[in-house]
Amino acid sequence: MEIILASKSPRRKELLSTIVNDFKIIESTFDESSIKINNPKKLVKALAQGKCEKVFNETTGVRCVIGADSIVVVNNKVLGKPKTEEKAKEMLRLISGTKHQVLTGMCIKYTFDNELVSQLSFVCSSTVYFKKLDEKEIEEYVNSKEPLDKAGAYAIQGLAGKFVEKINGSFHNIVGLPVAQLYSVLKQENII
């Protein structure tokens, strides 16, 4: 069975390689702005499904497509990827000194033959406790450019690791792919 990761994220690629030796990457061109859902868990699940289904429908043969999307939620406000440095600073001010959730929606769509298609989705949640940041720390971190393509404007596995006081849940989920949960599902479904 061909396994396809519907993501261009280098972090997801690296994490999936800890589970699966041989897989292909096809970036999903799914329009994320087409999803208008206020519930964060339903939103992140719908985004992962949209990415997964788009790539699944563009491919053929016996295959398993894995789609994922991550968001940060603080005080019921969803933080995606900041488009500007100013937006990154705003997000960092919001999560400074708080606890917030990182939600990753996962969608796995697969076929063992060209007739039978199965799909399953789940959401993994981790809680992150951030230290109180001063303006100098925010400024220096944003100047590193690291926050600009990260949900919530930070990378726990990068320079922002020093801002994290503790976490509850999966570290890999915060990076972008809940490895243990995904591994269990792929084993359970006899994909790996």
31 is catalytic: no
β-pair partners for 80: none
22, 31, 69, 134: which one is catalytic?
A: 69
Question: Three-state SS for 132?
Answer: coil
Q: Which of 63, 58, 70, 127 is nearest to 98 (CA)?
A: 127
Tell me how far CA of residue 106 lies from CA of 14, 44, 65, 141, 186, in angstroms: 16, 8, 11, 29, 12
- Rounded CA separation 57/35 (Å): 18
- Rounded CA separation 14/103 (Å): 19
List, by residue number, the catalytic residues.
69
